Amino acid sequence: MKRRHFLGAMSAATAVALTPKHLLALDKDNVYRNAIGIQLYTLRNQINDDVAGTLKAVADAGYKQVEPYGFPNAKPMIDAARDNGLALHSSHFEWDSVVNPDDKGVPPFADILEKANDAGLSHLVVPYLAEKNRTTLDDYKLTADRCNKAAEQAQAAGIQLAYHNHAFEFQPQEGGRYGYEVLMEEFSDQMKFEIDIFWVQLAGHDPAKLIRKLKGRVSQLHLKDLSRQTPVPTYNGVANEAFEELGDGVIPMEPIFEAAAEAGVIHCHVEQDQSPDPLASIRQSMAYLKKM
């Protein structure tokens, strides 16, 4: 019998039938592969030139959902996605509304939540931290506190808030500890993680192991591959050539899908930050997923 996975909207409950573990990601009905999304930042330049044509190309490539960026200033992407039958669950957003709420000109998080509900989103993701928010471990503690407060506010509005990592969160600081450790320790039950496996691998950690460690606390994944020529660990600054299409680098996807199912991950999105031909790259990554 095949091993099938059924994820509810927020509970991500998993039903498991017996089958060899290594065949998990090869199943034709694998929920992640068949509902695969794409983080639209991959196609930012193409979107700037032709949002409608780019989102049509995304749908034609076989992607089923998209994760916009820059919300609430993402209406053209959202409209074009819906016009092409692409699902929308999650978006990266103006994170200063959570991390630096007292800065001048920052929109209130309550307004962003209202707009997210109007757009039919169920997830919002803090996509980045400015250097001022990650210089010390105390900076990470303050960020965690603000995220926790925002996550409670979001939950009341029916939205799941999560944090998306890069590699800098894993750089050792005082006493050898690093910022991601602080976030893991300080985030409340309401605050989740969107794990980007590329940056975890770049920082010298095993992404599948991290996903399992955070079982029940990871709402989404970003899938991208890391060039074999890239030095590891690297925490800040990486060559454009470090970003590879799925299957062309050092990160095996089957263990990632296995860990995701065990940890209750809801959505997976392909992302490739840099590519000389982003549309060709997303097609190549999809072809890899289809033949797994």
pLDDT in tens, 138-169: 999 999 999 999 999 999 999 999 999 999 99
d(CA 196, CA 201): 9
d(CA 6, CA 156): 26
Q: Is residue 22 part of a domain?
A: no
Q: Structure pTM? A: 0.91
Structurally, the chain folds into a number of domains equal to: 1
Burial label for 155, CB within 10 Å (0-12, 13-18, 19+), is middle
Predicted pLDDT of residue 238? 96
| Residue whose token pair is 């931290």 | 129
pLDDT above 60: residue 16: no
Average pLDDT over the chain, rounded to whole? 91
More confident residue, 21 or 191: 191
pLDDT in tens, 230-256: 999 999 989 999 999 999 999 999 999
Q: Is residue 10 part of a domain?
A: no
CATH of the domain at 41: 3.20.20.150
Structural domain range at position 197:
32-291
Q: Is residue 8 part of a domain?
A: no
pLDDT above 90: residue 111: yes
- pLDDT level of residue 31 (50, 70, 90 thresholds): confident
Token digits for 263? 């940890």
Distances (CA, A) of 70 to 7, 74, 76, 120: 27, 6, 11, 16
pLDDT above 80: residue 21: no
Q: Is residue 271 part of a domain?
A: yes
